[in-house]
Amino acid sequence: MPKEILEMPIETATMELPDTKTIRLKWPDGHNPDFKTGQFITVYWPDTPAYKRAYSLSSCALDRGFYEVTVKRDGKMGTRIVDWAKAGDKLFVIPPVGKFLPVYEPDKHLVCIAGGSGVTPFRGFAREATRRKLETKITVLYSIRTPADIIFHNEFRELEKENPNFKFHVTCTRALPEHNWTGRAARITSDWVKEIATDLPNTVFYACGPNALVEFAEHLVIHELGVAKEQMKTEKWG
């Protein structure tokens, strides 16, 4: 049976950064869908039903009663959501689909490469693993321009404290002296990934976000590190 498209009100709209907003879409009463962490929903506004856009879930499958997506101000839909979407507005939601799924096996290490807003599904990965107290290791390698661009910084640090198997590593490519950034300050390199992924046969790589970032990560993992394609999952946003 085809999954039902439902109209959902925005319960909360939270600015994460000046150009990035999380909207929480409330499920109707009695709705209890089966979906997986890492999938994406497709949304459209009631006044423009032909204009549909996909958004990765930044919440996880254990979060019930709502979906959360985290959107950057970019293009028509991205700008409309970030600049205009507010609590009480309604969006139509096509149910979650997608194969960008965390492999939650105890001996696996998930190395998640992200740039900018591409980090959002990894919040879901880390949340579910932490709540379920899983042994699966998850490491996020997050490249952003300056420390002010880190999305969900506090939550990722909290998850790190709660979950000994989760690590959140940030590199800032354009930090200025006034940012007082003392961490890593270079692009993601194969040497850095090798330091993190010490057991390549048991590592699953993930990369998500704008095509350029995902293609960069694919090149690094598959061509520079020689990892088999089957060990990498990607989600290209366009």
76 binds ligand FAD (CB under 6 A): yes
Q: How far is the CB of 46 from ligand FAD (least distance, A)?
A: 16
Q: Please, which residues have CB within 8 angstroms of residue 181's CB and are 6 or more apart in sequence?
A: 146, 147, 172, 175
Can you tell me which of 71, 119, 213, 227 binds ligand FAD, judged by CB under 6 A? 71
Interacting span for ligand FAD (CB under 6 A) from 70-78, 123-131, 136-144, 217-225: 70-78
As a whole number of angstroms, the longest Cα–Cα distance in the chain is 57
55 binds ligand FAD (CB under 6 A): yes
Q: Are 188 and 221 in contact (CB under 8 A)?
A: no
Can you tell me which of 78, 96, 102, 124 binds ligand FAD, judged by CB under 6 A? 78
45 binds ligand FAD (CB under 6 A): no
Interacting span for ligand FAD (CB under 6 A) from 22-30, 66-74, 175-183, 190-198: 66-74
Can you tell me which of 74, 89, 155, 160 binds ligand FAD, judged by CB under 6 A? 74
Q: Are 74 and 116 in contact (CB under 8 A)?
A: no
Pairing of the two strands 166-172 and 137-144? parallel
Can you tell me which of 69, 93, 119, 141 binds ligand FAD, judged by CB under 6 A? 69
2 binds ligand FAD (CB under 6 A): no
* x/- letters, 122..161, toward ligand FAD (CB under 6 A): ----------------------------------------
The stretches of the chain forming alpha helices (DSSP H) are 75-84, 120-131, 153-162, 190-196, 211-218
67 binds ligand FAD (CB under 6 A): no
What is the rounded CA–CA span in Å between residue 200 and residue 229? 13
Q: How far apart are the first and last CA of the chain?
A: 29
CB half-sphere exposure, 74, CA atoms < 13 A: 12
16 binds ligand FAD (CB under 6 A): no
* The token pair that represents 218 in the structure block: 């694919």
Q: Which is nearest to 111 in space by CA: 24, 16, 197?
A: 197
37 binds ligand FAD (CB under 6 A): no
- Which residue type, as a one-letter code, is found at position 224? E
207 binds ligand FAD (CB under 6 A): no
Can you tell me which of 16, 17, 21, 40 binds ligand FAD, judged by CB under 6 A? 40
Please identify which residue in the block is written with the tokens 């061509």: 223
| Radius of gyration for the alpha carbons in the chain, expressed in angstroms and rounded | 18
Q: How far is the CB of 186 from ligand FAD (least distance, A)?
A: 25
Applying CB under 6 A, the residues found at the interface with ligand FAD are 40, 53-56, 69-72, 74-78, 117, 120, 235, 237-238
